[in-house]
Amino acid sequence: MNSKALLSTLIGFDTTSRESNLQLIAFVRDYLNAHQVPCELIFNEERSKANLFATIGVDDRPGVVLSGHTDVVPVDGQPWTVPPFELTEQHGKLYGRGTADMKGYIACVLAAVPALLAEPLRMPVHIALSYDEEVGCLGVRSLLAELEHRPHKPALCIIGEPTELKPVLGHKGKLAMRCDVHGAACHSAYAPQGVNAIEYAAELIGELGRIGSTLRAAHLQDPRFDPPFSTVQTGVIGGGKALNIVPADCRFDFEIRSLPDQDAHAVAQQLQAYAREHVVPKMQAVNAGTGIRFSELSSYPGLATDAHSEAAKLIAECCGSSEFTTVAFGTEGGLFDAIGIPTVVCGPGSMDQGHKPDEYVSVAQLAGCDRMLERLVETLRA
Q: Is residue 158 domain-shared with residue 188, that is, in the same domain?
A: no
Residues of the domain holding 8 = 3-171+302-380
CATH number at residue 221: 3.30.70.360
60 is catalytic: no
CATH number at residue 317: 3.40.630.10
**Residue 347: which of 108, 3, 35, 152 has the closest Cα?**
108
Q: What is the reported pLDDT for 313?
A: 85
Q: Is residue 105 domain-shared with residue 117, that is, in the same domain?
A: yes
Q: Is residue 150 domain-shared with residue 81, that is, in the same domain?
A: yes
Q: What is the reported pLDDT for 270?
A: 98
Q: Angle at CA 359, nearest 5°, toward 131 and 114?
A: 60
Q: Is residue 66 domain-shared with residue 55, that is, in the same domain?
A: yes
Tell which wins on pLDDT, 151 or 80.
80
Q: Is residue 308 domain-shared with residue 296, that is, in the same domain?
A: no
Q: Is residue 42 domain-shared with residue 144, that is, in the same domain?
A: yes
pLDDT at residue 58 greater than cutoff 90: no
User: Taken in order 191, 193, 198, 201, is the CA torsion positive or negative?
Assistant: positive
Cβ–Cβ < 8 Å for 159, 150:
no
Q: Which is it for strands 156-159 and 343-345: parallel, antiparallel or unpaired?
A: parallel
pLDDT at residue 146 greater than cutoff 80: yes
Q: Is residue 184 domain-shared with residue 164, that is, in the same domain?
A: no
14, 71, 101, 134: which is the annotated catalytic residue? 71
**293-350 pLDDT per residue, tens:** 999 999 999 999 988 888 888 888 887 777 889 998 999 999 999 999 999 999 999 9
Q: What is the reported pLDDT for 323?
A: 83
For residues 308 and 9, what is the distance between their CA atoms, to the nearest angstrom? 38
**Residue 367: which of 90, 94, 29 has the closest Cα?**
94
Q: Is residue 138 domain-shared with residue 270, that is, in the same domain?
A: no
Domain boundary among 300, 332, 353: 300
**83-137 pLDDT per residue, tens:** 999 999 999 999 999 999 999 999 999 999 999 999 899 999 999 999 999 999 9
101, 132, 133, 337: which is the annotated catalytic residue? 133
pLDDT above 70 covers what percent of the chain? Answer: 100
Q: Is residue 272 domain-shared with residue 342, that is, in the same domain?
A: no
Over the Cα atoms of the chain, what is R_g? Answer: 24
Mean pLDDT of all residues belonging to the chain = 95
Cβ–Cβ < 8 Å for 172, 300:
no
- The pTM of the full predicted model, rounded to 2 decimals, is 0.90
Domain boundary among 273, 300, 327: 300
Q: Is residue 157 domain-shared with residue 177, that is, in the same domain?
A: no
Average pLDDT for 144-151: 91
Per residue, what are the HEC states of the chain?
CCHHHHHHHHHCCCCECCCCCHHHHHHHHHHHHHCCCCEEEEECCCCCCEEEEEEECCCCCCCEEEEEECCECCCCCCCCCCCCCCCEEECCEEECCCHHHHHHHHHHHHHCHHHHHHCCECCCEEEEEECCCCCCCCCHHHHHHHHHCCCCCCCEEEECCCECCCCEEEECEEEEEEEEEECECCEHHHHHHCECHHHHHHHHHHHHHHHHHHCCCHHHCCCCCCCCCCEEEEEEEEECCCCCECCCEEEEEEEEEECCCCCHHHHHHHHHHHHHHHHHHHHHHHCCCCEEEEEEEEEECCEECCCCCHHHHHHHHHHCCCCCEEECCCCCHHHHHHCCCCEEECCCCECCCCCCCCCEEEHHHHHHHHHHHHHHHHHHEC
The total number of structural domains that make up the chain: 2
Q: Is residue 54 domain-shared with residue 199, that is, in the same domain?
A: no
Q: Is residue 166 domain-shared with residue 181, that is, in the same domain?
A: no
For residues 256 and 271, what is the distance between their CA atoms, to the nearest angstrom? 12
Domain boundary among 280, 300, 320: 300
Average pLDDT for 345-363: 96
Amino acid letter, residue 244: N
Q: What is the reported pLDDT for 235?
A: 97
**207-256 pLDDT per residue, tens:** 999 999 999 999 999 999 999 999 999 999 999 999 999 999 999 999 99
337 is catalytic: no
Q: What is the reported pLDDT for 328?
A: 87
Q: What is the reported pLDDT for 195?
A: 98
